[in-house]
């Protein structure tokens, strides 16, 4: 049991992850990633939230590296959970789900041109 406890040592001090760069990252997630996620959700009917989280993190790490900046673990953690929260799209997936189970005409049927039954 002790060998598993020694794999990851808890930090001695904790730092805040919400900074100006995290705020800019959250804004860019909302502007760039959410429309793409909505498009894929309406086009394919599948959510891309799990993949979009990691794509967002890799994108921001690479942009920070090219700008000769570094992101702390706390900032990466904050961006990861902001991306996950924004990418869930509860209302769009609910509309698609209603149209699949034969509910009332919804946004999914009107947009995709699916004929009414």
Burial class (CB in 10 A: 0-12, 13-18, 19+), 108: buried
pLDDT of residue 32: 82
Instruction: Provide the percentage of residues in the chain whose pLDDT is more than 70.
Output: 72
3-state secondary structure the chain: CHHHHCCCCCCCCCCCCCCHHHHHHHHHHHHHHHHHHHHHHHHHCCCCHHHHHHHHHHHHHHHHHHCCCCCCHHHHHHHHHHHHHHCCCHHHHHHHHHHHCCCCCCHHHHHHCCCCC
pLDDT of residue 3: 83
Question: What is the separation of C-alpha 110 from the centre of its chain, rounded to a whole number of angstroms?
Answer: 26
Question: What is the separation of C-alpha 57 from the centre of its chain, rounded to a whole number of angstroms?
Answer: 9
pLDDT greater at residue 44 or residue 19 = 19
Residue 74 scores a pLDDT above 70: yes
Question: What is the separation of C-alpha 29 from the centre of its chain, rounded to a whole number of angstroms?
Answer: 8
Q: Look at residues 111, 113, 108 and name the one whose alpha carbon lies nearest to residue 95.
A: 108
Confidence of residue 68 (pLDDT cuts 50, 70, 90): very high
pLDDT of residue 34: 79
Quick: pLDDT tens for 75-102: 888 888 888 787 765 555 555 555 555 5
């Amino acid at each position: 049991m002790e060998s598993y406890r020694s794999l990851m040592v808890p930090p001695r001090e904790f730092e805040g992850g919400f900074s100006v760069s995290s705020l800019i990252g959250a804004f860019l997630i909302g502007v760039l990633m959410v429309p793409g996620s909505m498009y894929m959700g309406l086009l394919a009917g599948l959510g891309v939230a799990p993949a979009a989280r990691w794509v967002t993190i890799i994108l921001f790490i690479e942009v920070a590296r090219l700008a000769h900046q570094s992101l702390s673990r706390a900032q990466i953690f904050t961006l990861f959970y902001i991306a996950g929260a924004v990418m869930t799209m509860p209302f769009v997936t609910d509309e698609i789900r209603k149209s699949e189970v034969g509910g009332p005409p919804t946004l999914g049927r009107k947009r995709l041109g699916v004929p009414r039954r």
